[in-house]
């Protein structure tokens, strides 16, 4: 059955499944960080300058956004390579 799959679609499906797992981890871990933050700061959380869970969310969020665009973005490496190849063929003539 592996040979009958469209390899490009299979790679895209794997990237999307990987992104969904990454997103789930992001939500669970960062949700836990916010719970820890609110439990440890008590009622003083409103007076804090910048809540510390913001920093891991931002850092990890950048990676998550990159993962999203690689999984769902409209840029297909195979299509881009094919276009570049055709462009080179035209220039060669």
pLDDT of 44 reads 67
pTM of the full structure: 0.71
Q: How many domains does the chain have?
A: 1
pLDDT at position 45 is 60
Q: Is 24 left (phi over 0), alpha (psi -120 to 50) or beta?
A: alpha
C-alpha distance from residue 68 to each of 5, 79, 83 (Å): 23, 19, 24
How does pLDDT run across 7-60, given as a tens digit for each residue? 888 988 999 999 999 999 999 999 999 999 989 887 666 666 788 999 999 999
Task: Write out the residue range of the structural domain in which residue 77 sits.
Answer: 2-92
């Amino acid at each position: 059955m592996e040979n009958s799959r469209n390899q490009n679609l299979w790679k895209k499906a794997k990237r999307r499944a990987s992104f969904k797992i990454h997103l789930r981890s992001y939500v669970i871990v960062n949700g836990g960080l916010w719970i820890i933050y609110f439990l440890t700061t008590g009622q003083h959380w409103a007076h804090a300058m910048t809540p510390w869970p913001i920093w891991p969310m931002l850092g990890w969020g950048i990676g998550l956004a990159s993962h999203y665009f690689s999984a769902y973005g409209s840029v297909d490496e195979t299509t881009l390579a094919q276009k570049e190849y055709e462009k080179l063929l035209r220039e060669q003539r």
